Amino acid sequence: MNSGELSRRARHLVRRFFGSLRPASVEMDDVDWVKSVLSGPEYALFDKMTINDQAHGVSVARDVASQLELSPRSWIVAAALLHDVGKIESGVGVAGRVLATLMEPLIPERFVPRATRLPGWFGRVGEYLRYTEAGAVLLASVGSDPRVRAWAREHHMPPTRWTIPADVGRVLQAADDRAS
Ligand SMILES: [Fe+2]
Ligand SMILES: [Fe+2]
């Protein structure tokens, strides 16, 4: 990760950290909209996310939908709603999330599997480091569009590693960075 990417991630982390301290809510209108975008099994996963992560997903998806002319069932809206879904597997609180996000750029990818084998809370923090991969696996299990799965896996990777169209990735990433 280069220094520009690192500072972008750091700014994103700070915004998400303070956003996570604010009480979040998802309005009924938003719930109806999310249900109209996602399949039933996808919505069941979305519903397991914390209310804060649901509100974040809705905010990213509304932002993206307002910029692109999308059909209501577009994979791009689903990708925005579900990009962080792997966090439902981690079971760590805000402190663990912050620690994991700070550690993420510093730990080479090949060491992450070892971090998941640490005992107790540290192991769960290690597990959180794999939430993007965990999200892609969860989405595969409910038959999500391959591009929705890809964005769950790739949304913290540099653009050179994206498999979704780069112009769409840039819109999704910018909306993710703006959202608290
Ligand atoms: Fe994320
Ligand atoms: Fe996000």
Find the ligand nearest to 16 CA.
2
> Hey, what are 161's tokens?
């590693």
Q: CB within 5 A of ion ligand 2: which residues?
A: 84, 176
Find the ligand nearest to 175 CA.
2
- Taking only the tens place, the pLDDT of each residue in 6-46 is 777 777 777 766 666 666 788 999 999 999 999 999 999 99
Output the CA 101–ligand 2 centroid distance in Å. Answer: 12
Q: What is the DSSP letter of 45?
A: H
Q: What is the DSSP letter of 127?
A: H
Q: What is the CB neighbour count within 10 angstroms for residue 19?
A: 15
Output the CA 128–ligand 1 centroid distance in Å. Answer: 11
- Taking only the tens place, the pLDDT of each residue in 140-179 is 999 999 999 999 999 989 999 999 999 999 999 999 999 8
Pick the range with the lowest mean pLDDT from 2-6, 48-52, 56-60, 162-166: 2-6
Q: Which residue has the higher pLDDT, 124 or 178?
A: 178
Integer Cα distance of 137 and 107 in angstroms: 22
Q: State mean pLDDT over 96-100.
A: 77
Integer Cα distance of 86 and 148 in angstroms: 12
Of 81, 36, 90, nearest in space to 62 by CA:
81
Report residue 91's pLDDT band, with 50, 70 and 90 as the boundaries.
confident
Mean residue pLDDT of the chain comes to 87
Output the CA 132–ligand 1 centroid distance in Å. Answer: 7
Output the CA 111–ligand 2 centroid distance in Å. Answer: 23
The pTM assigned to this predicted structure is 0.84
Integer Cα distance of 132 and 128 in angstroms: 9
Report residue 58's pLDDT band, with 50, 70 and 90 as the boundaries.
very high
For residue 55, what pLDDT is reported?
94
